[in-house]
Amino acid sequence: MADLRTDGSDGGAAFPRQDDITHSSEVGMSLRDAAAFVALPPLLAGLISKPASEVAGFTKVERAASVADAAYEIADAMLVAREK
């Protein structure tokens, strides 16, 4: 399952805004989370279009975890490409 990044390698805030209470601009989802979110629709479409025989034997939770892992793998690749 996707890990929570606390070392700053998540790309920072995707949509930074000034927080009125803490005066921090690091609020909201990370850039990594936003990239994974954007990667989800095609991954889900691919899962839905698979024949039943390919997904038989996997629970809904296992299928969802697989899609989530793939979305974060794509997001991680996007962050690496961003640094080039």
- The per-residue pLDDT for 35 is 93
Tokens of 20: 């009125």
Tokens of 64: 């969802």
CB 50 within 8 A of CB 67: no
pLDDT at 1 over 50: no
Q: How far from 84 is each of 32, 61, 78, 79, 81, CA to CA, in Å?
A: 16, 35, 10, 9, 5
Tokens of 78: 């996007």
pLDDT-based confidence at 47, cuts 50/70/90? Answer: confident
pLDDT at 5 over 70: no
Q: How far from 16 is each of 9, 25, 31, 44, CA to CA, in Å?
A: 16, 5, 10, 28
Does the predicted model carry a pTM greater than 0.75? no
